[in-house]
Amino acid sequence: MTHSNDNTSARKGKHLSYSERSQIAILKTENYSNRQIANALGRVPQTINSEIHRGTITQLKRQKQNGKVYDYYTTSYDPDTGQAACDRLRLNCGRRPK
């Protein structure tokens, strides 16, 4: 008996690749929801939510106007930060040596 109704193209339990993280960043800038991104990548929405939470950074933007300096913070998703955080998590995976 074969399964012809597979709805995910990626295997379960696999890590996100850097290209998938880049696609997440592009789709987030185009105001896609997490569910829409998950459908586009063939992943579970919770995976996308966790990845966005892991790779979100806060940036300080400074604007000078009329002799005053205005500071404001913006948050955005960065695929490099997400990849670095995932690499740090993978170091702690697996069995500990004796």
Q: What share of the chain is helix, strand, coil (3-state, %, to 5)?
A: 45, 20, 35
- 42-90: pLDDT as tens digits: 999 999 999 999 999 999 999 999 999 999 999 999 999 988 888 888 7
Q: What is the pLDDT of residues 50-62, one digit of tens each?
A: 999 999 999 999 9
Written as six digits, the tokens of 48 are 């996308």
> What is residue 15's DSSP assignment?
P
